[in-house]
């Protein structure tokens, strides 16, 4: 089998593995009850100081865009931040006293907002590298295709709780991929630490190229 054939086979296997994992997660998860958008809106005003009143224009590039993010993913992250399972010093105290219903309402509100689309700014070589990784992974490094879980258009997979990536700020994505690579972010434990596995062999150039491509994918 030639190199192109091996790469195609690898990419197909990675996609099938991702599909199988996604199906298992969906089938095993309890029914997801969404929150109340209007109730969430009433609580979200303080959040706008860092994430923007539109939920997509952060105070700086290291703050994530929340608008249009998948609700299930948002709720899981809010719960992990509140419990301390995901350590974010800038969020310390922000969720104190909020009930599970409050968090669900916040997640529903931000998921209801229109996302802000971005545009990749890299050169042709950088975009080509990132597109190859995002769509097909890397056979030699054992990197699965990002598109298998996050979709070719970057909208994620809402039922499985896989986040939307399209439009996310470059600096935020760089920071998260780097944190996964270095084991500082471990919020993928319920998903077989797949993000740490993917990020483990990505170098800084690949991470920056992917973050730029992700910002503009749609």
Query: What residue segments make up the domains of the chain, in order of their start?
Result: 3-29+118-216, 37-112
Sign of the CA dihedral with 173 first, then 71, 90, and 92 last: negative
**CA dist., res. 36 & res. 33, Å (int):** 10
What mean pLDDT comes out for the span 63-90?
96
Reported confidence tier of residue 215, pLDDT bands at 50, 70, 90: very high
What mean pLDDT comes out for the span 187-203?
94
Q: Is the pLDDT of residue 3 over 50?
A: no
With CA atoms as reference, report the closest residue to 71 among 101, 33, 38.
33
As a CATH number, domain 3-29+118-216 is 1.10.760.10
The pTM (predicted TM-score) of the whole model is: 0.85
**CA dist., res. 112 & res. 74, Å (int):** 12
Q: How many other CB atoms are there within 10 angstroms of residue 31's CB atom?
A: 4
Strand partners, 162: 157
CA distances, 205 to each of 27, 195, 198, 209, 214 (Å): 37, 18, 15, 6, 14
Is the CB of residue 96 less than 8 Å from the CB of residue 202? no
| Same CATH fold assignment for domains 3-29+118-216 and 37-112 | yes
Is the domain 37-112 a CATH 1.25.40.10 member? no
What counts of helices (H) and strands (E) characterise the chain? 10, 0
Is the CB of residue 210 less than 8 Å from the CB of residue 136? no
How many percent of the chain have pLDDT more than 90?
Answer: 81
What mean pLDDT comes out for the span 38-47?
96
Q: What is the pLDDT of residues 139-189, one digit of tens each?
A: 888 889 999 999 999 999 999 999 999 999 999 999 999 999 999 999 999
Which pair of structure tokens corresponds to residue 174? 């760089």
């Amino acid at each position: 089998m030639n190199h192109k054939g091996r790469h195609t086979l690898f990419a197909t296997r990675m996609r099938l593995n991702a599909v199988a994992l996604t199906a298992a997660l969906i089938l095993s998860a309890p029914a997801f009850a969404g929150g109340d958008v209007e109730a969430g809106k009433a609580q979200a005003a303080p959040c706008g100081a860092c994430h923007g009143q539109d939920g997509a224009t952060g105070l700086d590039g290291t703050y994530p865009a929340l608008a249009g993010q998948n609700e299930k993913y948002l709720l899981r992250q809010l719960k992990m931040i509140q419990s301390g399972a995901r350590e974010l010093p800038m969020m310390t105290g922000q969720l104190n006293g909020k009930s599970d219903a409050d968090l669900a309402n916040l997640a529903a509100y931000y998921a209801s907002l229109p996302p802000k689309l971005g545009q990749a700014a890299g050169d042709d070589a950088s975009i080509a590298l990132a597109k190859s990784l995002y769509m097909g992974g890397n056979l030699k490094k054992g990197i699965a295709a990002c598109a298998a879980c996050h979709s070719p258009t970057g909208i994620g997979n809402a039922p499985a709780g896989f986040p939307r990536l399209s439009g996310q700020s470059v600096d935020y994505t760089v920071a998260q991929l780097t944190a996964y690579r270095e084991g500082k972010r471990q919020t993928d434990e319920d998903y077989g630490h797949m993000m740490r596995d993917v990020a483990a062999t990505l170098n800084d150039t690949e991470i920056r190229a992917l973050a730029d491509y992700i910002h503009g994918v749609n």
